Amino acid sequence: MNRRDFLFATAGAAALTSCKPAPTPGAKAVLRFGHFPNVTHVQGLVAHHMSRQGKGWFEPRLGMDVEWYTYNAGPSATEAIFARSLDVTYIGPSPALNAYAKSKGKEIRVLAGAANGGSSLVVRPGANIHSPGDFRGKKVGTPQLGNTQDVMARAWLVSQGFHVTLTGGDVIVLPTQNADQLSLFAKGDLDAVWTAEPWVTRLELEAGGKIFVEDHDTNVTLLVSSAKLVKERPELAKKLVAAHKELTLWIKEHPAEAQAMIKAELKDLTKTEPKDVLLEKALGRTVLTDEISRSSLDMMVSSAQKAGFLKDIPDLTQLIPSL
């Protein structure tokens, strides 16, 4: 089994909410929508909370019900799309590109951008990491094997001259769910973590972490759908993109109201209410957008190849449909 096959063989186990089978013919139209409990998935958090309140954002604009599913990281969500149990999701670029490559360009489509930045490499106080060379022999946590931050961490370590393998090397990269990262970091079982907000800020505020590398430019969250949705329901795909863009603008124009929804939704999903100071800091590092950055996608392809996750990938033109 090669590395890419291993990635997708193990991805399904990490879903936070199990997916239901595809709807039967004649059933009421439902859009199955995914996101992660991360601040970098702002639009997903806000829209999910609106649905939870019975005041859905996407429902009236699409003319159909929405079922929400949450995942720890991207590979789990793309596996759900492959299984025809998810239609659309907010997701990072690395798993989207990996899924595109695995399906030879047939399964995944990027509909819009959602957020830039919002992820960082955080080092533990006492780990004696002051320069890139100090990572030798250290343990670095990432959210999930093959997710965006996992690929970024591995590619960065390789660029620093380290030999990094799936199970070891000069630096040990340990895919670990975000909630577990915080406790392991605090106990000293992880020396550093590359993750996304709000976990970056939690590592800072709750465990004394220091940011070593901060990403500002990566198109860290995308709106992605199955190719089947775009091909068979192009008008729905157009409405979905329009509603996403409208939501992005609404959040920018109503920051206080949006933050309250994000706080409430994170509490519902994680059973822990984030503090306002944490959310303000995390949101300040996350730049909302609806634009797809082709240069960011190209850079992520390069990083995934450097990390050993991608060998061949179809031309990206088909990945981004004209709607």
CATH of the domain at 62: 3.40.190.10
Q: How many distinct structural domains can be found in the chain?
A: 2
Which residue blocks in the chain are alpha helix, DSSP H?
A: 3-11, 42-52, 58-62, 74-82, 93-102, 148-159, 178-187, 199-207, 227-232, 234-253, 255-270, 276-284, 294-307
Which residue blocks in 12-90 are alpha helix, DSSP H?
A: 42-52, 58-62, 74-82
Distance CA 53, CA 29 (A): 20
Q: Would residue 319 count as lying in a domain?
A: no
Predicted local confidence at residue 27, as pLDDT:
57
205/283 same-domain check? no
Task: Point out the least confidently predicted range of 72-76, 218-222, 268-272.
Answer: 72-76
Task: Give the residue from 182, 200, 215 where a domain finishes.
Answer: 215
pLDDT above 70 for 314: yes
Task: Point out the least confidently predicted range of 19-28, 36-45, 116-125, 213-222.
Answer: 19-28
Predicted local confidence at residue 310, as pLDDT:
86
- Only one residue has tokens 């909630």, namely 179
Q: Would residue 7 count as lying in a domain?
A: yes
> Measured between alpha carbons, how far is residue 274 from residues 45, 148, 178, 234 in Å?
13, 23, 14, 38
110/226 same-domain check? yes
198/237 same-domain check? no
Q: What is the mean pLDDT of the chain?
A: 90
Return the CA Rg of the chain: 19
Task: Give the residue from 167, 195, 215 where a domain finishes.
Answer: 215
pLDDT above 50 for 272: yes
The type of residue at 186 is A
Q: Would residue 321 count as lying in a domain?
A: no
Predicted local confidence at residue 9, as pLDDT:
34
Parallel/antiparallel/unpaired status of strands 88-91 and 30-35: parallel
83/30 same-domain check? yes
Q: Could you give the strand order of the β-sheet that contains 119-123, starting from the edge strand earlier in sequence?
A: 172-175, 139-142, 192-196, 119-123, 210-215
DSSP helix/strand/coil, 65: strand
Distance CA 212, CA 318 (A): 36
Q: Would residue 292 count as lying in a domain?
A: yes
pLDDT above 90 for 26: no
268/298 same-domain check? yes
Enclosing H/E stretch for 315: none
The domain in which residue 197 lies consists of 119-215
251/134 same-domain check? no
180/251 same-domain check? no
Stretch 89-99: mean pLDDT, rounded?
A: 94
Q: Would residue 315 count as lying in a domain?
A: no
Exposed/middle/buried for residue 65 (C-beta within 10 Å: 0-12, 13-18, 19+): middle
178/294 same-domain check? no
